[in-house]
Amino acid sequence: MSRSKLAFLLLAAMAAPILLWPGDAGAVPVFARKYGFACTMCHSSFPRLNDFGVRFRDNGYRLPSRESEERTVLQGPAPFAARVSGGYDYDQFQDSPEAVEEVRQFRLDGLDLLSAGLMARNIGYFAVYVPQIDASRGVAGQDGTLEMASVVFSHLGSSWLNVRAGRFEPAYVAFSVKRHLSVTPYEIYDFSFPGGSAFSDTQTGLELYGQGRHGLHYAVGWLDGADSDSTGANLSDDPPADVYARVSVVFGAGEGQTAGHRIGIVGYSGKARSLTAGPGSAPSDRKCYQRYGADASLNYAQLNLALQYLWGSDDEGFWGATESQDFSGGFAELTWQPMTRLAAFARYDSVDAPDAATQEGISRTSAGARYSFADQLALHAEYSRATTSFRAPATPDMQEDFFTVRLDFAF
């Protein structure tokens, strides 16, 4: 039996019990369990939030207009949930026509443990713990981290003033990578100077946000700054110096997620150290970097078009250059949800790297679909091709073809 047939049979065997899963299974995570709601109350297709979910989140994890009846975490079911995904991955890396590397495997890919709820009538919290898992055959490793742990003080006098403190997904990220349908990254969010963190990473600090009439939303924040990856470049005792502001406007009924249209602009100014000589090298002096962006989320019938463009400007030294370096990029993502259980998406990412970078540019084309068997269980299929071009003459493009079929399970 060929490997592909074996893979298909194994996949079918995995899917069979799920296809027989009762359609009205009721156990759903944290908030859904608290209220007795289905996940689709807040998610157009889990984990992507719909307009109601956005309002619920922005209202400090309280049902709008029913705040006085809310229960704290001590008055309801245990506020814990978990999310795990796993399936079959195919990854092919091609550095040159002759150098092709393939990885095919079944594997569990990620486990998040989540707790959220209200501590008092207008004080909510949201925490996500990612446990340390060593990579082994069949299990994708992950670094243990407290991905989110934030407290929200809601409606301090009016809807114009809410405060979020702790580690959270800042509002300057227009399209949440924690809640998007795709498992492949938004390249422009991931792009950073050596040793820097992704733009979409969770951050530690303080955020003020609010909304008023005519669909106007704002958020300003003060952050500890770019946390680094395992290189430790930015783990020094530098005082927090990163600030940001975002303003968005929603036109029409909705929040721009699945109804209405949302446009926004964002500015971010940060200080960080880089590792221009590579991992393990001494970090550079503290330098400034800026990000500016514009985004739009447009809806028509069952279609959503998400557009993001970002410009980056890094002081000299971040890339080992003598002059400041600029880059830009963005993505356009079309999501189609013809029915509650099914969502499909297609996305194009592009990054034009700074002159000092080895890479000249990155492009990625992705397409996928997600079918929910039940509230808490989805089958996800996605194909993505990323191409990286290099400045050095005669260096061939590097290409990655990625395909995955996996189950996404939250409970």
Partner 1 sequence: MHGIRSVTLLALPIALFTMALTATRAGGGFLANGPLPPVPVPPDNPQTDAKIRLGAQLYFDTRLSADNTISCATCHSPEMAWANHGATDKGFRGQVGGRNSGTILDAAYMKFQFWDGRAGSLEEQALGPIHNPIEMGETLENVVLKLNAIPGYRSAFREVFGTDVDTGGIAKAIAAFERTIVSGPSPYDRYLAGEKGALSEAAVRGMNLFAGKAHCMPCHSGPTFSDQSFHNLGVGMSRPNPDLGREAHTKNAADRGKFKTPGLRNVALTHPYLHDGSAKTLRDVIDLYDRGGEANPNLDPLMLPLRLTEREKQDLVAFLESLTGTQPIVQNPTLPEDARAAARGGAGGAR
Main-chain phi, psi angles of 66, to 5 degrees: -125, 25
| Shortest spacing between CB 151 and partner 1, in angstroms | 22
Beta strands in 273-358 (DSSP E): 287-300, 303-314, 325-339, 342-352
Give yes or no for a contact between 242 and 234, defined as CB atoms under 8 angstroms apart. Answer: no
Characterize 55-81 residue by residue with b for buried, 16 or more Cβ atoms within 10 angstroms of its Cβ, and e for exposed: bbbbbbbbbeeeeeebeebeebeebbb
| 111 part of the interface to partner 1, by CB under 8 A | yes
| Shortest spacing between CB 50 and partner 1, in angstroms | 8
Provide the token pair at 265: 């602009």
Residues in 246-275 at the binding interface with partner 1, rule: CB under 8 A: 253-255, 258-260
Segment interacting with partner 1 (CB under 8 A) among 62-70, 96-104, 180-188, 354-362: 62-70
Residues in 11-30 at the binding interface with partner 1, rule: CB under 8 A: 23-24, 26-29
Nearest to 242 by CA among 288, 280, 282: 288
| 285 part of the interface to partner 1, by CB under 8 A | no
124 sits in which H/E element:
strand 123-130
Nearest to 330 by CA among 297, 355, 295, 282: 295
| 335 part of the interface to partner 1, by CB under 8 A | no
How crowded is residue 335: how many other Cβ atoms within 10 Å of its Cβ? 24
| Shortest spacing between CB 131 and partner 1, in angstroms | 7
Residue partners of 156: CB distance under 8 A and separation at least 6? 122, 162, 163
| 93 part of the interface to partner 1, by CB under 8 A | no
Give the whole-angstrom CA distance, residue 97 versus residue 263: 42
| 32 part of the interface to partner 1, by CB under 8 A | yes
Binding mask 374-393 for partner 1 (x = CB under 8 A): -x------------------
| Shortest spacing between CB 380 and partner 1, in angstroms | 19
Q: Which is nearer to partner 1, 302 or 358 (CB)?
A: 302
| 63 part of the interface to partner 1, by CB under 8 A | yes
Read off the DSSP letter of residue 139. B
| 279 part of the interface to partner 1, by CB under 8 A | no
Binding mask 199-238 for partner 1 (x = CB under 8 A): --------------x-------------------------
| 40 part of the interface to partner 1, by CB under 8 A | yes
Sign of CA dihedral 282, 286, 292, 295: positive
Give the whole-angstrom CA distance, residue 51 versus residue 179: 13
Q: Which of 47, 48, 49, 55 binds partner 1 (CB under 8 A)?
A: 55
Segment interacting with partner 1 (CB under 8 A) among 77-85, 174-182, 185-193, 321-329: 77-85
Residues lying near partner 1 in the complex (CB under 8 A)? 23-24, 26-29, 32-41, 44, 50-52, 55, 59, 63-66, 69, 71, 76-78, 80-82, 84, 111, 113, 131-134, 213, 253-255, 258-260, 301-302, 337-340, 375, 411
